[in-house]
Amino acid sequence: MGNIFQQIIDEFEARNAADYNKFPPFFISSIGCHYFNMINQQQHILKEAGMTTNTRLHIIMVAPQGQQKSFWLRQFLESDNSIVKGTAIKTDFELRMTEPGYIGSKRFGDRNQIIESQGLCEEEKHSIVGIEEFSDLMKSISAQDYNIGLDNELLTTLDSGMAFKRMAAGKIEYQTHLTMWAATQPGRYNLTSGLGRRFLFIFNIPTEQSIDDLRARRRAAINIDVNVSNLFDIKTAMNKRFDEITMIQKVKFDDVFYSYLDRLRLMHFEESLYEKLALGYTLMSEDKIGSEVIVGMDTTLRKMMKLEWTWRKKIKSGTEDSMVWTYIESADNLTLERCHEVLMDLGMTLPDAKKSIRDLVKRKLIEIKNGRIKVKDQNKFLAPEDLEQEKLEKKNN
């Protein structure tokens, strides 16, 4: 069967997709987690403190306008030429919805009969669902009184998968296995009440190099056709892998993996995200899956975990300021005028761009001299092991 993870990466390379080896690995891992979770909820293979673990890996991609948010959702979910659609995993696309649309409802009809309506979580309980603009969903929470419970419903359904709702016509109760892949622009969402802990973040911040690369890749992708035979082979291999996953009896995370987590110095509630990331990667990258799965560490997984650590730190520092800082860091001899121009191209207004730059100057993270702008703290978002390596190199020099 081979390495399905690498087969999918190779497919995106053949499509001339930009960043084909940077962002897809996280979606591929989520696919493995999604299918394993459906089996785990039935067979109770992986547990924590006696309770069956929910291994769904929800993803939210944070990126400015035009920076591949919808692109990757479509590449994986949208049509027959996407990676997942047409396999054993169902897919769906949504935009905005009400609380009844998300959870479902029960009401009395004209003759006092009970009328039930299924919501997304029940209709698509086995699907991976793409939401192209997560901020629209979050706006609907505060827009209308009848959506007041949607925030809590998101928390519980994305965590345990349990959906509860008491209505005059009766109680709604079921478990969903839906995995959510969402996208939003920086600063256009409010991940409060623990919602941020339910998601793995992908933070696509443009740099001077990535802007040039994306332009070149887009041109190279014109008139590129999908190799239908190759795509069929990938989907066939994925379905066979899902069959193998049904035979798993034990999952174990080895000491090398946890030793690396210790180096990242994570909060305990964030460790589960990295465990899921590693589990999904292992399930999709091994040549064959047996009855016992040992989750270890290799170069690719280490790179993915470092990226996620960095992205989460940037998200916590503020998405717009982190976007501005990262762009400035990537540019040599950057003029203030050019910086303003790019930030406006990325969706910021000029007043917001100027404010973010002023804030970064006050925090002594950037400096402006003679109309030129540059980063002062080059190590701000280095992962711990990279920071240790840099300190060692400075010491040796």
> How do residues 257-266 score in pLDDT, each as one tens digit?
999 999 988 8
> Which among 9-18, 129-138, 309-318 has the top mean pLDDT?
9-18
**Dist. CA 165–CA 109, nearest whole Å:** 19
Range in 28-42, 91-105, 360-374 with the lowest mean pLDDT: 91-105
Contacts of 107 (CB under 8 A, 6+ apart): 114, 115, 117, 167, 168, 169
**Dist. CA 55–CA 196, nearest whole Å:** 16
* Angle ∠(297,281,217) on CA atoms, nearest 5: 110
8 Å CB contact between 214 and 8: no
Confidence of residue 335 (pLDDT cuts 50, 70, 90): very high
Is the per-residue pLDDT at 347 higher than 90? Answer: no
> How do residues 177-225 score in pLDDT, each as one tens digit?
999 998 888 765 555 557 778 899 998 888 888 888 888 988 988 998 9
Q: What is the pLDDT of residue 67?
A: 82
Mean per-residue pLDDT, 15-22? 91
8 Å CB contact between 221 and 16: yes
**Dist. CA 29–CA 23, nearest whole Å:** 11
Mean per-residue pLDDT, 219-242? 94
8 Å CB contact between 315 and 188: no
Average pLDDT over the chain reads 86
Confidence of residue 77 (pLDDT cuts 50, 70, 90): very high
Q: Which domains does the chain have, with CATH numbers?
A: 4-313 (3.40.50.300), 318-396 (1.10.10.10)
| CB neighbour class for 66 (10 Å; exposed up to 12, middle 13-18, buried from 19) | middle
Mean per-residue pLDDT, 322-330? 86
Task: Considering only residues 39 and 370, tell me which one the structure prediction assigns the higher pLDDT.
Answer: 39
Contacts of 186 (CB under 8 A, 6+ apart): 62, 63, 64, 319, 320, 322, 323
Contacts of 292 (CB under 8 A, 6+ apart): 248, 249, 250, 251, 252
Confidence of residue 248 (pLDDT cuts 50, 70, 90): very high
Pick the closest to residue 119 from 169, 73, 84, 157 (CA basis).
157
Confidence of residue 379 (pLDDT cuts 50, 70, 90): low
Task: Considering only residues 73 and 388, tell me which one the structure prediction assigns the higher pLDDT.
Answer: 73
Q: Which two tokens stand for residue 198?
A: 């339910």
Mean per-residue pLDDT, 327-339? 88
Confidence of residue 333 (pLDDT cuts 50, 70, 90): confident
Confidence of residue 378 (pLDDT cuts 50, 70, 90): low
Q: What is the pLDDT of residue 14?
A: 93
Q: What is the pLDDT of residue 146?
A: 45
Q: Which two tokens stand for residue 382?
A: 């280095």
